[in-house]
Structure 1
């Protein structure tokens, strides 16, 4: 006997638009039908939906990769919904085991507090602070106590917990799993209960934890949240996910010139993925730009536009324009308007200084040996002229030293 077909959900234009905004650049929306129902109910009642993102302050700074999820929050915020920016000061004490093949050492309370101080300020570069609810999960985590934690643990099974890939792989490899690591997904899920969230966002590596939230909400008699996973942004190398430890990142607190130049360094292929995940341009605008490039327009034009958009978001339009001009000057071998001014003393009896030692003293090389290697590679200039002689010595005077395309210093020897 065939099952009756579920009735089709009739969407309004506003809900259809909201669904398109939700899905843009996303990896997975679970379950999409429930999200549409929530959107329809919100439109009919005029009550904003509660949309949650939790971030553990494991480091003091946020990089551009983190803003993939923040951008999505801002888009949903612009549709009129309530964004909850949750700082996981309690869960950080446990340590997130997601994607780990070993136990992650927890941070101290002092480290967590120091990192948390900068998180919301940096996130506010993307989110609208006036429409953002900021919360700390220590509010309810500390209040749970031993009895509450035991009662929470009783609502999830070990068998379900071991379905998680990293736990499964570590168990079969004989790698230790500490009992406290099981508490992390439980506490992240309990955050959704405490906040009564309608939608939780996270990276693809957080899918298991997000699903635990749905399960626990049902356990506590709430309507389960929907979950939206966002892809992990590839870093500057176009291969590994953006990470400070891999050195392929752009920090959102980096200066405008560095940020602009780093965006321009990505490949033409990666540029389009960054457009989808980082740009606030509409999909139609991005598609039109891509057609122009395919028709013969220089892809660098599109990359410059992306670099200026990202730089302006975290600095200003004027700073982005200045960064573009600075990059042009550097590309032409020109000298930036603002470079470090350094005064150094000559050797004993006014003896001239060797170029390699001078590069080290000016902070342009970590050692004289590195300075010599840079000279061998043709990457050192003095007053715009390439240095080929490692025996070069400079006497009294002022010189502009350049290493590569981005390191400059005006050095006065006396």
Structure 2
């Protein structure tokens, strides 16, 4: 039996007088020609036959996705659902296709009259939005039913959407370190695992960890920093994550490594940590999830858990400026980080200073995140069949698209990764810092 999405309709593109094919309609929207090969289910083609990228639109549902959500969201919907195929790249690592499209694709905005003519030509029935793929989160306005943005309930749901996918899937993509944050490569030939270990050690050295100290690691993921600090520096560590899957995995890893006398991974919100008197706090990849308007309460909360002279290391993705909107684009918001917000490092530094933390050092690791994402994409490609078996083809495609696109964003300075190191001065304003940074020696 033929499905409705594949069965031709009388309203299909190019089916009546004066109509144009889908390929012709797409060509008319190009400001400087077609940079890729295109073919559609109506038999039309466009673009050079020898183009390095070939996009195939397979059915009417895919067309409806494209015209009802122009831009990256519509393309993502069609691609994830299997209605749009990209030939010439592996779905686990579509980086080359994204580079080619960003370098060469430029759309023009048609006049209202032209837009109406094109809409009628391809068929007005295609402007009814299909059901989005199951991997897509609810739009922001519908998430209000789960609570206000960055309420504990809504934050928990957002974290569950992204992190509680499959621990086995993350093992295959992230590698043995199970570290889902930017690595720091000590050299260009370092492996991803070496770079993740170096990153954890860099954080530990910036915090000046010593045996017997107490460390709080908020947003601890699968417990990589928790275990590194306990094993290598002999500190007592509490890690906390809103992902139940991460907490279960992390605590089991702590016990497996014989570190239960020093380390603990808890499932819960960082705001539920009642203990105080920590010598150091690490926040690696959490700030993106808390909301810019919550920075004051966030850094105040962490400050109040530090002893005088205690250090805080904040590691997070940032924008290249401090004035762009904080909310992420539609694809990232619906498929990757619901309710995620990014801003410039200047706003993070300001927020830390305004609650009484003294900022002593900051650095931008954006090139390191591009290399990290390259490694993750290669892992996904190498383990593609098993990843698809684990989470399904749609979710695997989301990850390939997201990681390859993010790599490009870091390379082109659209997004950055900043580590900001602060200290809680004592009553006399003393920081306890030496004259020169010890972690640079």
Same fold (TM over 0.5): no
Structure number with larger C-alpha Rg: 1
TM-score of the aligned structures, taking structure 1 as reference length: 0.24
The one of the two structures with greater contact order (alpha-carbon pairs below 8 A, sep at least 6) is: 2
TM-score of the aligned structures, taking structure 2 as reference length: 0.23
